[in-house]
């Protein structure tokens, strides 16, 4: 290795819950088996290149504060290569197996598409070599279709066909590089695919265009033999006023309407679900119900701040809720837990990146153990099962089977009178969950 960027930081090890060393895992023990699988296999943790390596921690009121020596240097492509090396040193010391990137995170945009593509190829050489050296893998790649000013009115949903074409060309290349790097997935997050105002917007036409773009991506995937999973990542707003992929249900409806459901799964992000007025567990359930939960962008918002603050997840209740669903689903196949989270502007030193990720990984390790204990205990799922048991036989089974209609419901009700129902026992069950935390 050329230069070390985290020379004062050791490899982070599991030291157990009693450790007072903040640069150690107290709960995440990669090889520890929970519910028949190692923690490492359960989580498939990933770092988000854009936040961990590139975010300067600027906000609308002030400049970036982050000390990131790997991004310094006058030659932007050389700096990008150094950043790539730093990323792998970081993952290695942290013990995270995967990373995710946008094309423009890993390599700078050039003056032309050809120049941008050449930059990307040059840095991909380093990424490929570093992957081979460390065994780290690409969870998913994506194209940044929201930062450049050409995309200020959208990419696939821009009113300008030349912008659509540029975006398509960019996705084409990003998919090729993702394939070259063995990416296990490819994500579409519609950063500016929405509108600021309806006064100047032809919504139907924009949605049709978004559908066209995704069909072209499906075609290109076949053509180049890319076998990774496609994901759509819902988010309701920010940067635009309304984004078309606003939540899990809206994404599923869009995919169904445009005949794309077979080709996509969802990448659910905690802070996006809450921006949409849901909990993350709500959007996970919606995705799972359609057999379309693919991956998770793990972060959390701030209940007092109404935007995508992308904080590291530290809430054990939340990680428990997420892990309950993930375990119920049987775990990830192509997806993983990608820390789409950034340290606070006040936490500007490189070591803060370690504290942040360690905290997130430990929070998920505790969530996993608690969720597994709740499942092993069985009372919670038994209660829910019992709550719906009137559909297991008799009139309920006939309803579910679709074998009866209103006539039979009327006859049943006339014969049986007022239904008897039971308490929902929400508080008792909340207490039960708390007993495990
Ligand atoms: C932004 C999104 C973005 C996607 C990838 O809010 O979370 O980071 O995950 O484009
Ligand atoms: Ni995200
Ligand atoms: Ni986000």
- Tell me the C-alpha distance between 275 and 309, whole Å: 10
Rg (CA), the chain: 24
Residue of the nearest CA to atom 6 in ligand 1? Answer: 308
Q: Residue 47: its pLDDT value, please?
A: 98
> Nearest Cα to 131, choosing from 157, 98, 100, 90?
98
The structure tokens listed for 215 are 């069909």
* Chain segment 230-260, per-residue pLDDT in tens: 999 999 999 989 999 999 999 999 999 999 9
Beta bridge partners of residue 296, listed in sequence order: 268, 337
Q: Is 187 in the pocket of ligand 1 (CB under 6 A)?
A: yes
Q: Residue 301: its pLDDT value, please?
A: 95
Domains and CATH numbers, the chain: 13-377 (3.20.20.150), 391-436 (no CATH)
Q: Residue 303: its pLDDT value, please?
A: 87
Residue reference for tokens 């990542």: 233
Average pLDDT for residues 73-94, to the nearest whole number? 98
Work out the pLDDT band at 389, boundaries 50, 70, 90: very high
Tell which atom from ligand 1 comes closest to the C-alpha of 146.
10
Q: Is 184 in the pocket of ligand 1 (CB under 6 A)?
A: no
Work out the pLDDT band at 227, boundaries 50, 70, 90: very high
Range in 150-159, 248-257, 305-314, 318-327 the model is least confident about:
305-314
Q: Residue 150: its pLDDT value, please?
A: 98
Mean of the per-residue pLDDT values for the chain? 97
Q: Which of 27, 42, 51, 102 does the annotation list as catalytic? A: 102
pTM (2 decimals)? 0.97
> pLDDT at residue 293 above 70?
yes
Average pLDDT for residues 271-283, to the nearest whole number? 97
> pLDDT at residue 270 above 90?
yes
> pLDDT at residue 1 above 70?
no
* Chain segment 41-57, per-residue pLDDT in tens: 999 999 999 999 999 99
Q: Residue 307: its pLDDT value, please?
A: 86
Q: Is 233 in the pocket of ligand 1 (CB under 6 A)?
A: yes
For 159, what's the count of Cα atoms within 13 Å in the CB-facing half-sphere? 9
Beta bridge partners of residue 154, listed in sequence order: 152
Q: Determine what percent of the chain is predicted with pLDDT higher than 90.
A: 98
By the 8 A CB rule, do 58 and 64 touch?
A: yes
């Amino acid at each position: 290795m050329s230069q070390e960027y985290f020379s004062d930081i050791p490899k982070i090890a599991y030291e157990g819950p009693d450790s007072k060393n903040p640069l150690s895992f107290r709960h995440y023990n990669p090889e520890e088996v929970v519910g028949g699988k190692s923690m490492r296999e359960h989580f498939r943790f990933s770092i988000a290149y854009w936040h961990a390596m590139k975010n300067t921690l600027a906000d609308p009121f002030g400049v970036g504060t982050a000390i990131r020596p790997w991004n310094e240097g006058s030659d932007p492509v050389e700096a990008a290569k150094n950043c790539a090396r730093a990323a792998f040193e970081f993952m290695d010391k942290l013990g995270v197996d995967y990373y995710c990137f946008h094309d423009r995170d890993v390599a700078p945009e050039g003056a032309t598409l050809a120049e941008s593509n050449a930059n990307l190829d040059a840095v991909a050489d380093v990424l490929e070599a570093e992957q081979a050296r460390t065994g780290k893998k690409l969870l998913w790649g994506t194209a940044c279709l929201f930062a450049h000013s050409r995309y200020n009115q959208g990419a696939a949903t821009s009113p300008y066909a030349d912008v659509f074409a540029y975006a398509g060309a960019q996705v084409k290349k990003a998919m090729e590089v993702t394939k070259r790097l063995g990416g296990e997935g490819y994500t579409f997050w519609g950063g500016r695919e929405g509108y600021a105002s309806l006064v100047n917007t032809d919504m139907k036409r924009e949605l049709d265009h978004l559908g066209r773009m995704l069909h072209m991506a499906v075609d290109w995937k076949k053509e180049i033999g890319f076998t990774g999973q496609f994901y759509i990542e819902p988010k309701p707003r920010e940067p635009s006023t309304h984004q078309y992929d606003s939540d899990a249900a809206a994404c599923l409806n869009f995919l169904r309407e445009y005949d794309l459901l077979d080709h996509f799964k969802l990448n659910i992000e905690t802070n996006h679900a809450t921006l949409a007025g849901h909990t993350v567990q709500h959007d996970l359930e919606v995705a799972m119900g359609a057999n379309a939960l693919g991956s998770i962008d793990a972060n959390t918002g701030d209940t007092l701040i109404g935007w995508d603050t992308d904080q590291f997840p530290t809430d054990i209740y939340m990680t428990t809720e997420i892990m309950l669903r993930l375990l119920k689903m049987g775990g990830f196949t192509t997806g993983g837990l990608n820390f789409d989270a950034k340290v606070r502007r006040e936490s500007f030193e490189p070591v803060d990146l370690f504290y942040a990720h360690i905290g997130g990984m430990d929070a998920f390790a505790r969530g996993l153990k608690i969720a597994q204990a709740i499942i092993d205990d069985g009372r919670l799922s038994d209660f829910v099962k019992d709550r719906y048991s009137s559909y297991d036989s008799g009139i309920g089974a006939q309803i579910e089977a679709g074998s009866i209609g209103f006539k039979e419901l009327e006859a049943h009700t006339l014969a049986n009178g007022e239904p008897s129902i039971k308490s929902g026992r929400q508080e008792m069950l909340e207490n039960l969950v708390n007993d495990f935390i």
